[in-house]
Amino acid sequence: MSVGNEAQPTCSKSTAISDSNLTTAQTHDEKLVVDTPKSRRQNLKNLIERVLDSSPPNSEHQPGPSGCHTCFLENQKILEAYYNYFLSNDPNAWYEEIPEYKSAIQGRFQQIQNPTLDDLEDLNSISQSMLRKYLDKALNDTNSDNNGLRNSSMTANGDLTIGSLTNQCGRNISIERQHSYSSLNVKQLVLGLQEARTRVERALLYTQFYCTPSENDTHQQKNFKSKYARSFESCGSHEEVLEALRKEAQTLYQDKVTALRRELNELQLAQSAHLKNKARKAEKVQRLLERTLPFRHANCSFKRCGKRLDLSEENPECAVCEWLVSKGRSRTRFYYCSAKHATEDFDDHDRLQHQCSAGDRCLFFPKIGPPGNLFGAGVCLPCLESKEGLFYYCSTECYYQNFVGTCRKAKDTANCLGLACATASSFQPSTRK
């Protein structure tokens, strides 16, 4: 299964920039790619040559069964070399996850005392049989249309050779590659490299595998693929091009990770600033609430009660005083523990807290306003806007008689905005929390 002198791909087909997992293959498909029987055979040959060269120079061939210690050690070293050839420790070998292969090979090695050609033929037969089954399964996974491929590669006596299998697969993959430019996967690449005989053919395979354009590619990915497509097409050393591709892909991946981390840090800083701003706004709202409600607790305004009230709860209070407080801070709010106490305190509270600003000039003096009517009471808006003070009048008639008609008749009649009417009824429960 030699694939030429070029380096073999060690990753699944994906965009080189967006996926830089150019690491050791782990799947059956990729294990077939990285398996290098030619290299293993060369290593076996070198080991046997070293074993033979290490024999004493004056030793001669001993016909028949050999019982000398030197020959025994030499045979054991040769047997160990063949064991490493058929059962290497490479985690990416095609048989790594096939326990049947390991059991069969290990069982046959246990039967060998002095290695002979018959023993080696048996080991090779076991290995070839298992490899044929593995390739058969791998090709079935590649394309279900290749079901007839196995039958067409059988010889007249039913023997299936690896050479006929790979050559037949190579021809079929070449046809498939012509029909589906972007469907080249790892197994197809390997089988295509088996068939390729020139650098141009191999360059086309590498270009299709690594540099196939996609409509979803970013501008950076398009430039990356175009660059290495030209490198492959220049027919230079594919091993050097692949090494450069891997290094640049890893560099681009690290740059992308760094950029994402920097963006994450910026988002975290922005989130922190947002949370701080939100906390400042919450503190501002709390201060405004405390300014509106300076005390958390108050006593019932009914003199004969004095019960401690929690102002965070709903309590009855004077609606007129609440309205006046909303117009200016010079007033005080009056709370009650119950509507009964508010009603009982109505007359005294009304006489003391709702006095008309006209004093003894009030049209209804010494009463606090029109009999049975508090709905016409209000404050002077011009005085409120000019910040001269909060002036409460018992009625519209009293306001125009004393403020507009007497105090500021000549100066302010044209600009007077009138009386700001308060909804001054009897004591009502407050809706303010």
pLDDT (tens digit, 9 = 90+) per residue, 62-94? 554 555 777 777 777 888 888 888 877 777 777
309 shares a domain with 178:
no
The answer to whether residue 1 sits within a structural domain is no
Largest Cα separation within the chain, whole Å, is 149
Of 211, 240, 260, at which residue does a domain stop?
260
Confidence of residue 59 (pLDDT cuts 50, 70, 90): low
113 shares a domain with 207:
yes
- Determine contact, residues 334/301, Cβ cutoff 8 Å: yes
Whether the pLDDT of residue 426 is over 50: the answer is no
Of 260, 278, 307, at which residue does a domain stop?
260
304 shares a domain with 214:
no
The predicted model scores a pTM of: 0.30
Structural domain of 249: 28-35+92-260
Q: Which of 88-102, 124-138, 151-165, 233-247 has the lowest mean pLDDT?
A: 151-165
What is the pLDDT at residue 5? 39
The stretches of 35-159 forming alpha helices (DSSP H) are: 37-53, 69-86, 99-110, 117-142, 147-152
What is the pLDDT at residue 266? 93
Confidence of residue 36 (pLDDT cuts 50, 70, 90): low
The answer to whether residue 422 sits within a structural domain is yes
315 shares a domain with 224:
no
324 shares a domain with 209:
no
Report the number of distinct structural domains present in the chain.
2
Taking Cα atoms as reference points, which of 405, 390, 406, 317 lies closest to residue 356? 390
What is the pLDDT at residue 427? 26
What is the pLDDT at residue 431? 34
The answer to whether residue 213 sits within a structural domain is yes
What is the pLDDT at residue 34? 47
What is the pLDDT at residue 189? 79
Of 260, 283, 306, at which residue does a domain stop?
260
The answer to whether residue 59 sits within a structural domain is no
- 23 or 257: which carries more pLDDT confidence? 257
- 410 or 211: which carries more pLDDT confidence? 211
253 shares a domain with 105:
yes
**Portion of the chain with pLDDT greater than 70, in percent:** 64
Confidence of residue 273 (pLDDT cuts 50, 70, 90): very high
What is the pLDDT at residue 37? 61
224 shares a domain with 361:
no
DSSP 8-state class, residue 359: G
229 shares a domain with 143:
yes
- Determine contact, residues 29/186, Cβ cutoff 8 Å: yes
254 shares a domain with 110:
yes
Phi and psi torsions of 338, nearest 5°: -160, 160
Question: Over the chain, what is the mean pLDDT?
Answer: 69
248 shares a domain with 303:
no
The answer to whether residue 52 sits within a structural domain is no
Distance CA 362, CA 394 (A): 8
